[in-house]
Structure 1
């Protein structure tokens, strides 16, 4: 049977070296990174990578910093260690496009391994021209209580964007560079990274001609070895103007008489929303887990909104309700109407607005006395209420 195999030995014995294992390609800006592992075969001394430049005809003029069209290759010397070795090399001056890279390994006698191939994109000017800076609305500068903070509202940006670089001058006169990146989804970390829709730059210096400079960084692929940047954009800012609080003249309860569960007083209608002047129910009032107060507006008035300020332990309130009556006086048999009830803890500034069922229009109520009835979690609950305000607003 010698004749069946001798013909395959013409020209001598064929020797194959170990091939590149785990071959990977990492895209870049007019370049690519190639990586593989040498698992065995200590005879390996070199490797050669072949590719064909795509996208233009062989013989075309060579573009600056790019290789010519057609077939190309590089040779790499390899010094083997005692175990598994990794090989990493970079091929530059590549034209933008899709490449197939073929890798062979050789011993010192010129014997070749079988071919390993990997496909990779190479990015360049076309990709650079396709990216844009993340759009933003006009930032707002909030100068309040000795602080000077710039609030930046953002619009959406492509998922390939990975970072925003911001440059500004702080109140100490120092030029600062701040980087903003994606964060884990705060509502569901399993959904990956997301962009915040607003950012704040603290201690922003307000000065004539002051600007915010920013650019956006992109990775065309998660494993890309090069980051692409947009040009810096300079933008101005506008000043944040806090809404004008209601005039004290509009507050129907201001300076009006207050009656509480155990006593009368004026601190709940003195116009001070802070906790300086407050109503604190006594332990005797709290015994049945219910406390209350009401304000006398002096006469029957139209109203459609109240604001109650719970400045201590609102979390220990089980419910509160707003009652009203147009009775001329308050007696034990006075019939109250309920304007609102909230189960659970109120907000520290709890605002009630009377509207129709679809919340599109105000509904006026008529009352002389406005009562706040409060349920307590336990007898030790020691709440503070600093103010009640009552309004007749013209619009939502």
Structure 2
């Protein structure tokens, strides 16, 4: 009888331990699932946490049709303000919001309002501009970003002038310059510079020209060439550095 009671007691203890272990496992799995769901929710809020907390009705209309055109140490931005009468200005940030400028809204109609600004004195590098519509009461829109690479001296130094196939001096003193075909679709034209009998001279050479004749050169004059480039989507023409190709003796 004692043996039987001992066996039953041991069996109940074992069953209790098994149930307890299963309960712990289920609790642990439940904890992991809840943690994962919480983490996912947090990630969603991190994208624009303030948007969820504030509510959509507290935001102004986001700027639209944002475009940016690079230039030499500058960039031109254009965008549209939606027909939200509460919007009074656009704030543009760059350099991780270390730099900014404000453009006030001037409405001429009740519809969308086009806006633009040219930012000058920019360093030659890649930029991410962030545009936010705001008003005078602390309301603002969600940001709109656009990226661009601004040109500078390093870019200019790497431009290559249109190459010359040959330069021939004629008996009458004229120079005949024969050109190689242009090597880049971004070339707009080429300029020849030299000192003539009548003073400084410049001759524009279009891309379809195969040769150029220079007349009335002054002794000792250096013939320089500079090619003008207009990269795709650029704001203005960029000129390669002057290159001496011939000295008239």
Q: TM-score, normalised by structure 1?
A: 0.43
Unaligned runs of 5+ in 1: 1-7, 54-69, 184-195, 239-396
Corresponding residue number in structure 1 for 2:192: 166
Corresponding residue number in structure 1 for 2:176: 150
- 1:331-365, CA deviations, whole angstroms, 9 ceiling, x for partnerless residues? xxxxxxxxxxxxxxxxxxxxxxxxxxxxxxxxxxx
User: Is 1:216–2:237 an aligned residue pair?
Assistant: no
Matches within 5 A, 1:153-302: 153-154=179-180, 156-168=182-194, 173=198, 175-182=200-207, 196=209, 198-201=210-213, 204-219=215-230, 221-236=231-246
Secondary structure of the structure 2 residue equivalent to 1:86:
strand
Q: For 1:227 and 1:177, how far apart are their aligned partners in 2?
A: 17
User: Is 1:115–2:143 an aligned residue pair?
Assistant: yes
Question: Pick from 75, 79, 100: which aligns with 1:32?
Answer: 75
Q: For 2:99 and 2:175, how far apart are their aligned partners in 1?
A: 55
Higher strand proportion? 1
Higher helix proportion? 2
Secondary structure of the structure 1 residue equivalent to 2:156:
helix
With over 3 angstroms needed to count, the CA separation of the structure-2 counterparts of 1:27 and 1:206, relative to structure 1, is: closer
Deviation at 1:207, TM superposition (A): 4.2
Q: For 2:160 and 2:227, how far apart are their aligned partners in 1?
A: 7
Q: TM-score, normalised by structure 2?
A: 0.65
Corresponding residue number in structure 1 for 2:103: 76
Aligned length: 197
User: Is 1:18–2:18 an aligned residue pair?
Assistant: no
Deviation at 1:120, TM superposition (A): 0.9
With over 3 angstroms needed to count, the CA separation of the structure-2 counterparts of 1:78 and 1:143, relative to structure 1, is: farther
Corresponding residue number in structure 2 for 1:48: 91
Q: For 1:175 and 1:92, how far apart are their aligned partners in 2?
A: 32
Contact 2:156 2:241 in 1 (8 A): no
Q: For 1:201 and 1:10, how far apart are their aligned partners in 2?
A: 73
Structure of higher RCO (CA pairs closer than 8 Å, 6+ residues apart): 2
Deviation at 1:37, TM superposition (A): 2.0
Secondary structure of the structure 1 residue equivalent to 2:154:
helix
Contact 1:214 1:232 in 2 (8 A): yes
Contact 1:142 1:151 in 2 (8 A): no
Corresponding residue number in structure 2 for 1:329: none
- 1:42-73, CA deviations, whole angstroms, 9 ceiling, x for partnerless residues? 332111112236xxxxxxxxxxxxxxxx7332
Corresponding residue number in structure 2 for 1:280: none
Deviation at 1:34, TM superposition (A): 0.9
- 1:311-340, CA deviations, whole angstroms, 9 ceiling, x for partnerless residues? xxxxxxxxxxxxxxxxxxxxxxxxxxxxxx
With over 3 angstroms needed to count, the CA separation of the structure-2 counterparts of 1:176 and 1:17, relative to structure 1, is: same
Deviation at 1:148, TM superposition (A): 4.6
Deviation at 1:26, TM superposition (A): 0.8
Q: For 1:77 and 1:228, how far apart are their aligned partners in 2?
A: 31
Q: For 1:44 and 1:108, how far apart are their aligned partners in 2?
A: 8
With over 3 angstroms needed to count, the CA separation of the structure-2 counterparts of 1:81 and 1:139, relative to structure 1, is: same
Contact 1:137 1:155 in 2 (8 A): no
Unaligned runs of 5+ in 2: 1-50
- How large is the Cα RMSD of the aligned pairs? 3.3
